Structure 1
Amino acid sequence: MTSRYGMTIPLDDVPLSAVPYAARELEDLGYTDLWTAEGMGADGFTPLAAALGVTSSVHLGVAIAPVFTRGPALLAQTAATMAAMAPGRFTLGLGASSNVIVEKWNSIPFDKPLSRSRDMLRFLRAALEGQRVDEEFATFTVQGFRAGVVPEVPPKLLLAGLRGKMLDLAGSHADGAVLNWLSAEDVGRVVPAVTAHGADKEIVCRILVAPTADADLARGVARRLIATYLNVPVYRAFHADLGRDELEPMWKLWADGDRAAAVEAIPDHVVDELVVHGSPGACREHIGRYVEHGVTVPVASLLPVGVDPLEACRALAPS
């Protein structure tokens, strides 16, 4: 197992007001990393700020902050503030996100995600070092910006990637990549595109974990999530590229509007590849396989399967 072992916060079914208490316990349990997501729930930065006030060494990261939904200066200011408050303990994960979040939820055109990601990485490198930025990038223009807060230790910048060009950008312009929605074996197929630019690249992977020995329950919850996410165009294309032909019936049924049948069409073995479930020992062993294939920071994300999340964290904690 890697020397780093993370958990996603906030935990489902734990009130947001209890994030500081949960974060302190997670650090005491031996988790080295606490990472947030930014999708349907809480924003990616506020829970980390809450955790910062009660922890002393745990690493804090967001995976990911979309490159479209915050303006360049605001994103730089937010990252600089977090990095200054937690010197050497904060990592900013960036990503194009999806047309659903960017266009449908935020009314922002989802145009040229690769170019936007490259431009944001270039801008943030300069801004977080305290440089004055006055440049016309391909996808936005910044005139005369200089950060008022310059962190002593600039945060690492990671980029979420699924396929070739974005993974290559994560290796060439970022400090590593953020991965999700893939199996342990898939990791070995995508990581070389990143590490081709340096063996020291960081590979953070959010791993879905259903902490229950009830396989039917775990698969039921996982199937609904798989159907929801893997019909988003970017994820569908990713798994098609990976050769996951077993999902073709699900994709067709979903496109035809038969959502219930689409969920049921997902084979057990695909669920078992993409979602970790079972006893605590089985879950830790499965997470370890991600590390064996190239992940440097595994980050568990607990699924709601009727288990108290803090109890699950205690059971899954590094031994």
Structure 2
Amino acid sequence: MRFGLHTGYWSAGPPPGVAEAVQMADKLGLDSVWTAEAYGSDAFTPLSWWGASTSRVRLGTAVAQMYARTPTATAMAALTLDHLSGGRMVLGLGASGPQVVEGWYGQPFRRPLARTREFVDIVRQVVARERVQYDGTFFQLPLPAPGPDAGPYAPTGLGRALHSTVRPLRPEIPIHLAAEGPKNVALAGEIADGWLPLFYAPRLDDELRAPLEEGLARRSGARSPREDFEVCATVPIVIRDDVEEAADQVRPFLALYIGGMGAKGANFHLEAVARLGYREVCDDVQRLYLDGRRAEAAAAIPLELVRDVALVGTLTQVVAGMAAWESTAVTTMLFQADEQTLRALASAPGLLG
């Protein structure tokens, strides 16, 4: 089992203490550091800024939203950061959901799995420094010449098939997919180099890994070997003497994702948690959250749900809880934790050494 640090996305501004936590992760020999984006801060800028003070950890986006950039622009950012970091870039991609995609990016959220497949194909063409040509449902590169009845906003037809001016540092940059629904998880196993689950419960490992195995069975020989496939799960960690007090630090995070990170009837995070056996809890939390009763929504999160997807309690309890993850499909635990928590974990004999 490897360990990493997930810094998340910003709320009102740059979160205090993250730069120090990133440096601590590098000093402790953690495997990776990851950043995220929603509809405020982006994923690439903090990763490059904080990553510049590191020398060992891999630098990953968890996740860069695919509707935020074209595939070629995404590949450009990844190529650039891979060079600047000496080959430490991991490109984590995600589709987000209809609220953000249509409300923030102004694009229709349709057939996200098919679009993801095309997106990844084009990113890989760029990284391989191929002349990019693609005739897909969602992406056409170059854009075709307009027909005789084309309107005033039709393409000129002057586009050229181009390859990157930059020679990639590596022939491949690892691509991980954030996935929650079974079909999306299977797609990650089929076409990606890793899966980024957000809510993973070790007690349901057999059920959660089943769609991944389905996708891995369809894997092409041209992709990296399945034994190198990574599963990097985000795991909130809070160390307190009182377990309920520790859980209270995680409950607002869960309430936000279950209740507010998606429209009613189209919240993928809610469905992911519901599949863990918490359908009634999710329905209650969403109702309270959408009614503006956010504190009550957080209070409705039971301790057992927190313990399913996070590690909370004393240092001894947290370290003991990690044993349940060892036999799962997860290869890397991405700690959602501050510098003080990392220091505490480092004090546990043999854990991070």
Out of 219-228 and 154-163, give the one that drifted further. 219-228
- Measured after TM superposition, the shift of residue 41 of structure 1 is 5.7
Q: 1:162–1:238: 8 Å Cα contact kept in structure 2?
A: yes
Q: 1:176–1:194: 8 Å Cα contact kept in structure 2?
A: no
- Matched residue of 1:147: which SS? coil
Residue of structure 2 in register with 1:206 after alignment: 234
2 CA distance for matches of 1:212 and 1:18? 19
- Matched residue of 1:180: which SS? coil
- Cα distance change, pair 274–21 in 1 and its aligned pair in 2 (3 A): closer
Q: What's the RMSD between the two structures over aligned residues?
A: 2.7
- Cα distance change, pair 77–259 in 1 and its aligned pair in 2 (3 A): same
Map 1:138-157 onto structure 2 (within 5 A).
Answer: 138-143=137-142, 144-153=161-170, 154-157=172-175
Q: Percent identity?
A: 29
Map 1:56-205 onto structure 2 (within 5 A).
Answer: 56-143=55-142, 144-153=161-170, 154-196=172-214, 197=216, 198-205=226-233
Q: 1:177–1:202: 8 Å Cα contact kept in structure 2?
A: yes
Q: Are 1:235 and 2:252 matched, yes or no?
A: no
2 CA distance for matches of 1:312 and 1:285? 15
Q: Are 1:316 and 2:345 matched, yes or no?
A: yes
Q: Are 1:244 and 2:272 matched, yes or no?
A: no
- Measured after TM superposition, the shift of residue 145 of structure 1 is 3.6
TM-score normalized by structure 2?
0.79
- Cα distance change, pair 34–260 in 1 and its aligned pair in 2 (3 A): closer
- Cα distance change, pair 260–278 in 1 and its aligned pair in 2 (3 A): closer
1 CA distance for matches of 2:105 and 2:9? 25
Paired positions, count: 311
2 CA distance for matches of 1:15 and 1:253? 29
2 CA distance for matches of 1:288 and 1:45? 33
2 CA distance for matches of 1:104 and 1:39? 12
2 CA distance for matches of 1:186 and 1:75? 34
- Matched residue of 1:132: which SS? coil
Residue of structure 2 in register with 1:278 after alignment: 313
- Cα distance change, pair 290–122 in 1 and its aligned pair in 2 (3 A): same
Give the unaligned 5+ runs of structure 1.
303-308
Q: 1:163–1:238: 8 Å Cα contact kept in structure 2?
A: yes
Larger Rg: 2
2 CA distance for matches of 1:263 and 1:15? 24
Q: 1:207–1:287: 8 Å Cα contact kept in structure 2?
A: no
2 CA distance for matches of 1:264 and 1:271? 11
